[in-house]
């Protein structure tokens, strides 16, 4: 919404729209305007699920992350907000950069710990930390209780062969802190340049219900966010479409659940949280 909404809504207008449509909150890109984001969401009775933060582990990086993070971490205390870390600074998936990544993430984890803030390693196409398996590998080495990983459907489809989703999510296990989904075609079509990549949730050939089944099977109970990056037009239109599709998916999933309805989650620019209370 910040980057592509044709209406160019203010943060207060974004919060009001999310509340009206039935979303539970939002994520926030980078650290600018973070105080206003917190204030406008909370005034609408909504939650800030994640704040995105770039990390650079390259040898030329003078500062590996925005130094303002020390200032903003106290603002997040008691809000159950995660920092989502996008990690660049090396060839994609190059394990030779692991020691530097572990060093920087541990440093951030120690800064975040007194404020009760978790860190979610965010796999992003083209970055050093590009794959879910990269995030799990680094989180295992960091070995801090407030460091986990995020699964992003759009980036997974870009770099994976669309196999082994269940085993990958099971391998993430206790590290899996957040998930983002979006409408999309299958990975092969996307990688060939013919498929729709980030579109409203009611669009595309990817099996969204199958993904939700896997998340249920692996016992995932965290937030599910709606990825909207680059979707053109009025955000009201595509957010309403996606939420209607989300609710339909939940009804279908609940109908398959022998023990009763699955707890509903609602995607937002970050979504309804299932058990614990994520552009």
Instruction: Please state, as a whole number, how many other Cβ atoms lie within 10 Å of the Cβ of residue 184.
Output: 25
Q: What is the pTM of this model?
A: 0.89
Q: Three-class SS of residue 149? A: strand
C-alpha span between 256 and 273 (Å, rounded): 20
Boundaries of every domain in the chain: 11-256
- Return the pLDDT at 260: 47
Q: State residue 157 phi and psi, 5-degree precision.
A: -65, -30
3-state helix, strand, coil in the chain (%, to 5): 40, 15, 40
* H-helix or E-strand spanning residue 224: strand 224-226
Average pLDDT for consecutive 10-residue bins of the chain (279 residues)?
88 97 97 97 98 96 96 97 98 97 98 98 97 96 98 92 85 94 86 86 94 94 94 96 97 81 46 34
- Return the pLDDT at 58: 96
Query: Superfamily assignment of 11-256 in CATH?
Result: Divalent-metal-dependent TIM barrel enzymes (3.20.20.150)
- Return the pLDDT at 268: 46
CA distances from 4 to 120, 199, 236, 269 (A): 24, 13, 12, 12
């Amino acid at each position: 919404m910040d980057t592509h909404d044709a209406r160019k809504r203010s943060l207060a207008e974004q919060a009001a729209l999310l509340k009206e449509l039935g979303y539970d909150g939002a994520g926030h890109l980078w650290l600018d305007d973070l105080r206003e984001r917190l204030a406008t969401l909370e005034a609408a009775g909504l939650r800030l699920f994640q704040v995105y933060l770039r990390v650079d582990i390259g040898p030329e990086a003078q500062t590996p992350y925005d130094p303002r993070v020390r200032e903003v971490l106290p603002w997040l205390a008691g809000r159950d907000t995660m920092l989502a870390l996008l990690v660049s600074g090396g060839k994609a998936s190059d394990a030779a950069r692991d020691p530097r990544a572990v060093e920087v993430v541990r440093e951030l984890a120690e800064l975040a710990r007194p404020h009760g803030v978790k860190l979610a390693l965010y796999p992003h196409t083209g970055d050093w930390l590009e794959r879910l398996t990269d995030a799990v590998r680094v989180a295992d080495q960091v070995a801090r209780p407030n460091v986990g990983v995020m699964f992003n459907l759009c980036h997974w489809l870009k770099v994976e062969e669309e196999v082994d989703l269940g085993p990958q999510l099971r391998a993430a296990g206790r590290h899996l802190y957040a998930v983002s989904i979006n409408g999309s075609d299958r990975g092969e079509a996307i990688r060939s340049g013919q498929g729709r990549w980030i579109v409203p949730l009611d669009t595309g050939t990817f099996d969204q219900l199958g993904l939700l089944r896997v998340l249920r099977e692996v016992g995932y109970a965290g937030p599910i966010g709606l990825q909207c990056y680059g979707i053109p037009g009025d955000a009201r239109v595509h957010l309403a479409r996606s939420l209607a599709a989300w609710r339909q998916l939940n009804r279908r999933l609940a109908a398959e659940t022998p023990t009763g309805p699955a707890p509903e989650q609602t995607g937002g620019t970050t979504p309804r949280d299932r058990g614990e209370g994520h552009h």
